């Protein structure tokens, strides 16, 4: 799983590609007829990388538009060009009403409700819609693609709402809110985050609003761009978090006086799962040369077998890695797709299709929510072992400083447990649901947008649960003094100590948890471990 992958052929197995390079914003992202890469999407969505449009691709857009212009004057009806939409597909619209038809489509479909969607999600879906426009398969005019790019480059973010998409025909409502902004309508936030009208934002940026021509309203709203954008962003986060899960597990194995013998390469090779091998390799590297492990190794070690939450970490973390790699494969294919309805084919036909259905993306979004919940569940079980005097091999109950007076990290585990319980509920698939719409014309939908929204909550929860385990394991390592942890785990413990105090009397714990969460989210935990252990996968 690598952020540089753009197409399915580029997706490498977890065993060789799971390293999470820092995403450095390129000087510019060129959008042409081919797919944008994972790296480009993250750079535009999160780092505001500027966009330029490939001139050759714009020529292709213009050539396809000439086909649409020819059909617009045909006396025979053509869906989306001279007809209504959905259940109204058989209604012929005269040429003098078609601009109103396209504008009305966008206005009526901009029917979202609820909280605003995050800025990075809106920018991701807009980049992906622009990418599809530039394939030359949608029939828009070049000026429409150019205006769309200008809105992104100006940092203007349309207000998109949490609810409104059924994931078929794609993410209609979210994309319609973005199309409104290109028309100089609706509500947006400018580059500074100030809310204002679309008209005011475009005027301030010197952008001329688009008056939509035939087919363009459809082209701006028919796509899986919202759910796909959130999938790529989730994969970027999981690249970091699944490596961080290995770091947390290594700290726990060490602090709980476990063994690294079970992670031996020959044992792992007996079950040749790629993700498992990568995870076990990380654990071996992280625990290499640990004085703490060496202090109890040998024939006198009373531990026959570690608990599953320690011993089976590579199996669970590895399964999550393999799931993420499958999701990256699907995402790569979707990035290479031109999703619209109807589309202009390479031989010049304008054909209706069902490619806007979000099932391929929805399924893997749900798979990832399951994986995130299970990795978090195992992490929370390791956290709990640190706090239980019956299982933590000599550490004080709840790692408290003065037992009976102090509660130690008791309630930090409650927090992790509450999050894990929520993640299990979020793991219930959205993609198995469907609800009919458009007078039964759209009688099966993907719910891919809903799957993506809940996955974002799942990833946030996983991040917090791992941070609590790392904070807990760091305290356990401190309490094992004077025996020292390994160099890599010790580096993470030292990093935690820059934002959270070591063992001592009870104190206000929430700020310390949030500070460690920030270290996990920034990649600092992963960097600290890798600075000693070498590149982690």
CATH of the domain at 147: 1.10.275.10
Residue 432 lies inside a defined structural domain of this protein: yes
If asked whether residues 162 and 259 sit together in one domain, one would say no
On the question of pLDDT at 464 being above 50, the answer is yes
Within a domain: residue 444? Answer: yes
Where helices occur in 299-429 by DSSP H, the ranges are 308-311, 313-335, 359-387, 410-426
Phi, psi of 481 (to 5 degrees): -55, 145
90 exposure class (CB count in 10 Å sphere: 0-12, 13-18, 19+): exposed
Which domain range does residue 408 map to?
231-294+304-533
Quote the pTM value.
0.92
Query: Quick one: which of 177, 133, 181, 124 has its CA closest to 31?
Result: 133
Residue pair 357/446 in contact by the 8 Å Cβ criterion: yes
Flag whether pLDDT at 22 surpasses 60: no
Residue 284 located in a structural domain: yes
Kindly tell me the sign of the dihedral angle through the C-alpha atoms of 313, 318, 321, 323.
negative
High-pLDDT (> 90) share of the chain, % = 80
Asked if the model's pLDDT at residue 243 lies above 80, the reply is yes
How does residue 302 score in pLDDT terms, banded at 50, 70 and 90? low
What whole-number distance in Å separates Cα of residue 28 and Cα of residue 49? 6
Residue in the block written with tokens 């204002």: 196
* Whether residue 124 is found in the same domain as residue 218: yes
Closest CA to 250 of 535, 512, 478, 469: 469
20 occurs within a structural domain: no
- Residue 159 structure tokens: 């207000």
Query: Among 10-14, 228-232, 309-313, 320-324, which is the least confidently predicted range?
Result: 10-14
The answer to whether residues 96 and 186 belong to one domain is yes
Q: Which of 233-237, 344-348, 433-437 has the lowest mean pLDDT?
A: 433-437
Are residues 116 and 159 in contact, defined by beta-carbon separation less than 8 angstroms? yes
Confidence class for position 21, pLDDT limits 50, 70, 90: very low
Quick check: is 196 in a domain? yes
Pair 241, 208 in one domain: no
Asked which of 222, 246, 267 is the last residue of a domain, the reply is 222
- List alpha helices for 73-194, DSSP H: 98-109, 119-133, 142-153, 172-182
With contact defined as beta carbons under 8 Å apart, do 419 and 376 qualify? Answer: yes
The total number of residues shown for the chain amounts to 537
According to DSSP, the β-strands at 29-31 and 51-53 are parallel
Assess whether 170 and 92 both reside in one domain.
yes
Structure tokens at 497: 């100590």
Residue that is written with structure tokens 């150019």 in the block: 146
Q: What pLDDT score was predicted for residue 88?
A: 60
Q: How confident is the model at residue 4 (pLDDT cuts 50, 70, 90)?
A: very low
What spatial distance separates the first Cα and last Cα of the chain, rounded to whole Å?
Answer: 10
484 and 362 assigned to the same domain:
yes
Res 436: pLDDT: 85
Q: Which residues on adjacent β-strands are paired with residue 31? A: 53
- The reply to whether 413 and 459 lie within a common domain is yes
- Structural domain total, the chain: 2
- 10 is a domain residue: no
237 token code pair = 């986060």
The percentage of residues in the chain with a pLDDT greater than 70, rounded to a whole number, is 93
**169 with 448: CB under 8 angstroms?**
no
- DSSP bridge partners of 157: 189
The chain-wide mean pLDDT, for the chain, equals: 91
Residue 233: its pLDDT value, please? Answer: 98
pLDDT tens-digit map of 398-424: 999 999 999 999 999 999 999 999 999
Active site residue 79: yes
Whether 245 and 212 map to the same domain: the answer is no
Are 117 and 243 found together in one domain?
A: no
Q: Could you identify the residue written with the tokens 């690249």?
A: 239
Question: In which residue are the tokens 């005097």 written?
Answer: 389
| Mean pLDDT comparison of 96-110, 309-323, 352-366, highest-scoring range | 309-323
Domain assignment present for residue 524? The answer is yes
Indicate the residue among 222, 247, 276 that finishes a domain. 222
Same domain, 193 and 246: no
Question: Which CATH number does the domain housing residue 376 bear?
Answer: 1.20.200.10
pLDDT tens readout for residues 144-185: 999 999 999 999 999 999 999 988 878 999 999 999 999 999
> Which is more confidently placed, 75 or 327?
327
Same domain, 139 and 166: yes
Q: With bands split at pLDDT 50, 70 and 90, how would you rate the model's confidence at 119?
A: very high
**Any domain includes 327:** yes
In angstroms, rounded to a whole number, what is the distance separating the alpha carbons of residues 231 and 226? Answer: 9
- Which residue, 168, 194, 222, sits at the end of a domain? 222
Where residue 18 falls among pLDDT bands split at 50, 70, 90? very low
Instruction: Give the integer Cα–Cα distance in Å for 124 and 491.
Output: 35
Residue 353 shares a structural domain with residue 380: yes
Sorting pLDDT into bands at 50, 70 and 90, what band is 355? confident
Average pLDDT over residues 364-374: 98
| pLDDT > 60? residue 370 | yes
pLDDT at 87: 56
């Amino acid at each position: 799983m690598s952020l540089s992958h753009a197409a399915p052929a580029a997706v490498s197995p977890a065993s060789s590609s799971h390293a999470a390079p820092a995403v450095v914003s390129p000087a510019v992202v060129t959008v042409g007829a081919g797919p944008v890469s994972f790296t480009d999407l993250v750079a535009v969505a999160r780092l505001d990388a500027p966009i330029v449009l490939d001139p050759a691709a714009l020529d292709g857009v213009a050539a396809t538009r000439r086909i649409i212009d020819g059909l617009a004057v045909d006396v025979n009806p053509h869906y989306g060009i001279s007809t209504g939409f959905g259940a109204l597909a058989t209604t012929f619209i005269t040429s003098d009403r078609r601009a109103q038809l396209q504008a009305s489509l966008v206005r009526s479909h901009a029917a979202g409700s609820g909280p605003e969607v995050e800025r990075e999600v809106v920018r991701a879906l807009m980049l992906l819609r622009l990418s599809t426009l530039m394939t030359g398969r949608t029939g828009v005019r070049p000026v429409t693609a150019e205006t769309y790019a200008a809105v992104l480059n100006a940092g203007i973010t349309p207000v998109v709402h949490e609810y409104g998409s059924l994931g078929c025909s794609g993410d209609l409502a979210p994309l319609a809110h973005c199309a409104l902004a290109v028309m100089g309508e609706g509500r947006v936030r400018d580059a500074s985050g100030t809310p204002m009208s679309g008209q005011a934002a475009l005027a301030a940026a010197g952008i001329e609003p688009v008056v939509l021509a035939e087919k363009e309203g459809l082209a701006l709203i028919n796509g899986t761009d919202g759910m796909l954008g959130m999938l790529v962003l989730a994969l970027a986060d999981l690249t970091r978090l699944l490596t961080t899960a290995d770091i947390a597990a290594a700290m726990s194995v060490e602090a709980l006086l476990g063994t690294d013998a079970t992670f031996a390469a020959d044992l792992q090779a007996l079950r040749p799962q790629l993700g498992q091998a990568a995870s076990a390799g990380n654990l071996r590297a992280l625990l290499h040369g640990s004085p703490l492990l060496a202090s109890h190794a040998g024939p006198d070690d009373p531990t026959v077998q570690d608990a599953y939450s320690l011993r089976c970490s590579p199996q669970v973390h590895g399964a999550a890695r393999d799931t993420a790699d499958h999701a990256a494969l699907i995402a790569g294919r979707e990035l290479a797709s031109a999703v619209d309805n109807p589309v202009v084919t390479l031989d010049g036909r304008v054909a209706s299709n069902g490619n806007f259905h979000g099932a391929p993306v929805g399924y893997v979004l749900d798979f990832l929510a399951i994986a995130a919940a299970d990795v978090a569940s195992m992490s929370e079980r390791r956290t709990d072992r640190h706090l239980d005097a019956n299982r933590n091999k000599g550490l004080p109950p709840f790692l408290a400083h003065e037992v009976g007076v102090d509660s130690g990290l008791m309630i930090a585990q409650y927090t992790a447990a509450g999050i894990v319980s929520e993640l299990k509920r979020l793991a219930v698939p959205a993609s198995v649901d469907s609800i009919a719409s458009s007078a039964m014309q759209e009688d099966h939908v993907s719910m891919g947008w809903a799957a993506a929204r809940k996955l974002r909550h799942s990833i946030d929860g996983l991040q917090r649960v791992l941070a609590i385990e790392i904070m807990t394991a760091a305290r356990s390592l401190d309490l094992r003094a004077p025996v020292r942890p390994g160099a890599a785990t010790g580096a993470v413990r030292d990093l935690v100590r820059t934002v959270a105090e070591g063992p001592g009397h009870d104190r206000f714990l929430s700020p310390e948890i949030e500070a460690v969460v920030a270290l996990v989210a920034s990649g600092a935990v992963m960097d600290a471990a890798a600075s000693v252990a070498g590149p982690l996968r």
